[in-house]
Amino acid sequence: MASNVDQQPWDDGVDICGQSVPMDNDEGWRRAVASMKQKDEPMESNEDDDGGLYERLMRDDARINAQLSDLRAAHRAGALDREAFSAQALERLRPKPLRDMLEVDASDPIAVVGRSKAVDEATLRALSSIVSGPRSSPEQRKRWPVSLGQDPIIKATSSGDRLVLRFRCEDDVKVWCWKMAHQVFANEGAGLLYTQNVSFEYPCAPTNLSRLFRYVSEGVVSADASGTLVLAASDRTLAYPDAEYGFEGELLSRWVARTVGRLAGTQSYATRDPPGFTSGEDDDLDTAFEKRWVSKAEEEDIDRAFADDAPE
């Protein structure tokens, strides 16, 4: 079950305390736990001079309470002394290696694209129906990184609480990544995917696609009665950073519909970079939104400034 985990810079731990802490660094975790203390309170001291670690671990803090409630109960009952409690609590709070968090039992090429809760079968079918993306044109096929007889076919599955994409072969992984980055979600940033049984060094997913995967894995997006992925949670307006590649002030439900449409091939356009600066090809997408990152007047002022500074 080879993964690409060693190829990625996963040196930082899970940021449960609002700051990054190196793996296997007990002193770093002591500082992280201590940092949760309110800034306006004086630092408590104790005879063991542990920097207030014990008090922080025993304090009723929602961020760690669920993870330590059983250890606290055992400590209060006398089953664990103070030193044993602190050591076990730190071990539990220390982030697990990415492989332990995401790895699934698989022999075929896969990508784990979400981890939150089990996804229902109807939603997996709906995602599978569009996740391969629209068919590439002959001209686009010429730009594929490898030659394939047909477009990649990807299936969305689940393994426990993990959302998993399954590929037929490694060439499918390479072409699918190209299609998402250059054909479906062109002009976006992208993040590395966690893969297994794939030797391709840089499997990536564009920002909007990664966000859709996250919403599916969290249950925010699911299949409706017609088998279409739709918003399953309360609607809200997008705001930075959620609107990084969307429209600030746009409803999340509309963003979901647009993103699903891009995967299905019913909508096709290049993502703007940065948001708010448009070309004639996507001006129609902006007419419904009054709020712009830069107003038209400001853009004209910027254009005039550049024109004035241009060498004669």
**More confidently predicted of 284 and 160:** 160
Cβ neighbours for 96, distance < 8 A, ≥ 6 positions apart: 14
Range of the domain at 76: 17-93
Confirm whether 161 is domain-assigned. yes
The string over 216-253, giving b where at least 16 C-beta atoms fall within 10 Å of a residue's C-beta and e elsewhere, is: bbbebbbbeeeeebebbeeeeebeeeebbbbbbebebb
Query: pLDDT tens, 48-78?
Result: 556 678 888 888 777 777 778 888 888 889 9
**More confidently predicted of 132 and 27:** 132
Residues 122 and 259 grouped into a single domain: yes
Contact status, residue 170 vs residue 127, Cβ threshold 8 Å:
no
Residues 135 and 260 grouped into a single domain: yes
Using DSSP's 3-state secondary structure scheme, residue 264 falls into helix
Model confidence band, residue 31 (pLDDT cutoffs 50, 70, 90): low
**More confidently predicted of 3 and 159:** 159
Confirm whether 272 is domain-assigned. no
pTM of this prediction exceeds 0.75: no
Query: pLDDT tens, 207-218?
Result: 899 999 999 999
- End-to-end, the C-alpha distance of the chain in Å comes to 62
Confirm whether 3 is domain-assigned. no
Q: What is the Cα–Cα distance from 148 to 143, expressed in whole angstroms?
A: 11
Contact status, residue 191 vs residue 205, Cβ threshold 8 Å:
yes
Residues 121 and 239 grouped into a single domain: yes
User: What does the block give as tokens for 32?
Assistant: 């992280």
Contact status, residue 166 vs residue 107, Cβ threshold 8 Å:
no
Say which amino acid occupies 240.
Answer: Y
Residues 246 and 214 grouped into a single domain: yes
Query: pLDDT tens, 191-206?
Result: 889 899 998 878 999 9
Among the three residues 93, 116, 146, which one is the final residue of a domain in this structure? 93
pLDDT of res. 91: 79
Residues 53 and 160 grouped into a single domain: no
Number of domains the chain is built from? 3
Look at phi and psi of residue 105 and say left if phi exceeds 0, alpha if psi is from -120 to 50, else beta.
beta
Query: pLDDT tens, 104-129?
Result: 888 889 899 988 888 999 999 999 99
- Name the DSSP letter for residue 60: -
Look at phi and psi of residue 51 and say left if phi exceeds 0, alpha if psi is from -120 to 50, else beta.
left
Residues 48 and 173 grouped into a single domain: no
Among the three residues 41, 63, 93, which one is the final residue of a domain in this structure? 93
Residues 89 and 104 grouped into a single domain: no
Confirm whether 139 is domain-assigned. yes
Q: Cβ atoms within 10 A of the Cβ of 131, count?
A: 24
User: Taking 50 as the threshold, does the pLDDT of residue 176 lie above it?
Assistant: yes
Confirm whether 4 is domain-assigned. no
Confirm whether 47 is domain-assigned. yes
Contact status, residue 262 vs residue 268, Cβ threshold 8 Å:
yes
Among the three residues 264, 287, 304, which one is the final residue of a domain in this structure? 264
Residues 81 and 213 grouped into a single domain: no
Mean pLDDT of the chain: 76
Q: What is the Cα–Cα distance from 20 to 10, expressed in whole angstroms?
A: 11
Closest residue by Cα to residue 233 from 215, 248, 258: 215
Confirm whether 10 is domain-assigned. no
Residues 82 and 208 grouped into a single domain: no
Confirm whether 269 is domain-assigned. no
User: Taking 80 as the threshold, does the pLDDT of residue 15 lie above it?
Assistant: no
Residues 117 and 246 grouped into a single domain: yes
Query: pLDDT tens, 222-276?
Result: 999 999 999 999 998 887 666 555 666 788 999 999 999 999 999 988 776 444 4
Residues 50 and 129 grouped into a single domain: no
Query: pLDDT tens, 38-47?
Result: 444 444 444 4
Residues 152 and 181 grouped into a single domain: yes
